[in-house]
Amino acid sequence: MAETHCSVYQRLPKIATSDLPTKSDLQENFVKTFLAKTLSADCKAEEIAAGLKNSVELFDLNEKKKVEKMKRKKKSLTSKEKKKLKIFEIKPNEQKFENFIPMYQLWLQYIKDLIHYENVNSSNLQTVQMKILKADYHGCYVTVSQSKCPSFVGTTGIIVMETKNTFKIITKNDRLKCIPKKNSIFRFQLGDYCYTLYGNHLQVRASERAHRRFKTKSTIAL
């Protein structure tokens, strides 16, 4: 006799599956049951549930997590994209010295708080110098005292932008100059003291310099 093969599992007919509750039905029934248990008998649970359904959308927890992950994975702009968009570029109509005077005043307050200006004396100058080395110079009023390029010497103004290798300085005659840190020496006055910054030691981004450990080195004259 020939053997007959029959499948043990078969799909349910459409009539049987049509009456199965969906995820939204289960959520709606849960809300109605919860309201009926928590609210008093005078309150109409079905009407309240209908109002909630119209005003608030019921989210699945897994869907909520997916949305949160998508928000976290949102990419930030790369350095190339920032250059294309010219985010950090100062427009010609904004290159005015008087526009950056408030920035200089804020920097003065910042540097005085950083080094505890009122307590600066000859005994703690080494500690003050280390703090100044790690400081942020956006807004500092500096003068280029020495440089390998003679045309940069004597340039005085407010630092409006600092990169790893350059200082962008706005002068009193509203000219924006990009001064390389390498082989340049900068000076700024703060009270009775004149501080000297050696550009060769500052060839680090401002954000990285604040956390970097510097070793004491002898400075070679330019």
What pLDDT digit, counting tens, does each position of 17-26 carry? 555 555 556 5
From residue 17, how far is each of 14, 20, 30, 89 by CA, in Å?
Answer: 5, 5, 21, 64
pLDDT of residue 8: 57
Number of Cβ within a 10 Å radius of residue 174: 13
What pLDDT digit, counting tens, does each position of 53-101 carry? 555 454 555 666 666 776 666 567 777 777 777 777 777 788 899 999 9
Domains of the chain: 22-71 (no CATH), 94-209 (2.30.30.210)
CA-to-CA distance for 65 and 79, rounded, in angstroms? 30
Average pLDDT, 10 consecutive residues per value, the chain (222 residues): 54 56 61 68 62 53 66 67 73 87 94 90 84 90 94 95 92 93 93 89 82 59 53
pLDDT of residue 25: 61
CA-to-CA distance for 180 and 199, rounded, in angstroms? 8
